[in-house]
Chain A
């Protein structure tokens, strides 16, 4: 295939434990480390491997958000993507509008495969890939843990609750990736230098002529109700006694 699109979302780093703002208006992201959504890194790694096997000729990374997301796109270029597109918006975006933005990019780029993370670790929605496949009218292979191509079809193994499901999809298609698909490569310093010269197009969301979808409003953020620390027992006999007390064994 000619071209693969990969979505990269800028999110609060995996290791940061976010705090809810005291006025309930959001979570505090001031001065917090930001990274590529870990699932999106796996998506990009897979796209690069497909290109390196000679099964695709170009990998384009796409991010939708503020101009700060250039940082994540540069990292994607350093990993090995050929080009980057930043669709700029200052508004917080909903999944359906993002899917429509991707659709507009697919049409501009004539892409045959879109690889996305199965969820973003900030909103934990897990929607964009499925929505994109729906409006594109194409197959979706979500939660992928293995991906192989045979001409105009892809065979995808998916992580489902009961085990591993394999499906066959015709291309073009949308794939959303799970943790076990691959281990993303580390970026080396010379690659970071090289990435500075690679093209990064910035386009405004207004230029794409995308209709904004009806929003699900976020009205209040609260910290979760915590579990409280229970008892400590000294030994196995104490544990068995405590379980018996609760009628659990």
Chain B
């Protein structure tokens, strides 16, 4: 029987929705028993949140001062110490999980399955490669632990309403001191986060300047949307890197994605193809973005976006 440990992602106080998405993926394995592990300096509130996720059997907490900020080299040996008895260890395919899970896999002496987009069996999964240009079915060895990251855009968060037991786990391992957290700079913004937002307004190179991105901000604020961008817009310095959507940025699945002045390179499309509705606004009617958009409008964004913002008011 599959016994799955999901490594919780959190910011020190609240649980990231990526955790409930990993649980949703894990629950698709037949007969899975799913536990969630919370590593934190003071895990009780985060653990209480995790205990509500439907499908979770137990929440294991590991409280250590060193777990105040997530550092892969510090978390990985603790996760390995907890894995005995588990057939699978899952983490989200976010920056947190991508950094951490391969380190866990290597310590366990196994390869990792990256970006599970569907579960085909206890050891069989599908995942995207070549920026989503191909989907490969993979089979992990039956006789070793399956370590995997879950492509969060492929899963709806498992619902709440559960009350799993919370237990504190003793993890007696020496932790390295060679890696130290210095600081985290976040864009100070009241807008929703890109990964979890139901609506995203995204701008591309056609915006032409950092100042012009104000048009995107105004529309996003009218909709209560998060800000996204193409790689070209980030490279041009219009917006910070954490807004980038695509193969090498964030992979997202909002209900509504509005792409403004984005031509729609395959590397960008791979980041949005699970979105509910894609709206494209572009002056080039041949732009590839229109091949994947549900609603397209050809025209000058500098006229369209202010008018749209106004009409939604």
Contact = CB atoms under 8 A, between A and B. Distances in A.
A220 B256 CA distance: 32
A216 B140 contact: yes
A19 to B, nearest CB: 8
Contacts of B168: none
Contacts of A94: 111
Given A161-B242, A216-B140, A224-B135, A236 B297 contact: yes
A231 B293 CA distance: 8
Interface stretch (A53-61, A115-123, A188-196): A115-123
A216 B138 contact: yes
Contacts of A123: 114, 129
Interface residues of A, number: 85
A interface, over-half SS: mixed
Nearest to A145: B241
B111 A248 contact: no
Contact of A224 (B73, B107, B110, B134): B134
A161 B228 CA distance: 12
Nearest to A232: B296
A108 B112 CA distance: 27
A130 to B, nearest CB: 4
A239 interface: yes
Given A121-B131, A216-B138, A230-B294, A17 B106 contact: no
A87 B18 CA distance: 38
A99 B304 contact: no
A247 B179 CA distance: 48
A25 B242 CA distance: 36
Interface string B207-238: 00000000000000001000000010011000
Contact of B130 (A122, A233, A235, A239): A122
Given A139-B178, A165-B184, A214 B141 contact: yes
Interface stretch (A44-52, A65-73, A167-175, A198-206): A167-175
Contacts of A132: 106
Contacts of A12: 130
A142 B95 CA distance: 9
B206 to A, nearest CB: 17
B294 A18 contact: no
B312 A249 contact: yes
B279 interface: yes
Nearest to B194: A161
Interface in B85-119: 94-96, 98-107, 109-115
B277 interface: yes
B interface, over-half SS: mixed
A127 B130 contact: no
A125 interface: yes
A168 B180 contact: yes
Interface in A127-147: 127-135, 137-143, 145
Interface string B290-313: 111111111100001001100110
A232 B231 CA distance: 25
Contacts of A99: 106
Interface stretch (B30-38, B44-52, B158-166, B247-255): B247-255
A120 B136 CA distance: 16
Interface string B9-52: 00100000000000000000000000000000000000000000
B182 A239 contact: no
Contacts of B95: 143, 158-161
Nearest to B248: A179
Contacts of A105: none
Given A143-B99, A180-B234, A219 B137 contact: yes
Contacts of B140: 216
A99 B195 CA distance: 30
A163 B184 contact: yes
Contacts of A160: 95-96, 184, 242
B92 to A, nearest CB: 10
A133 B94 CA distance: 19
Given A179-B235, A213-B111, A243-B279, A167 B99 contact: no
5 contacts: A143-B99, A163-B185, A220-B137, A222-B135, A227-B292
Interface of A: 12, 17-20, 27, 39, 94-96, 99, 118-119, 121-135, 137-143, 145, 155, 158-170, 173, 178-180, 213-224, 226-227, 229-240, 242-243, 246, 248-249
Given A133-B73, A164-B240, A214-B109, 12 more contacts: A124-B129, A142-B98, A161-B96, A161-B195, A162-B11, A162-B242, A165-B183, A179-B231, A213-B111, A222-B134, A230-B293, A232-B296
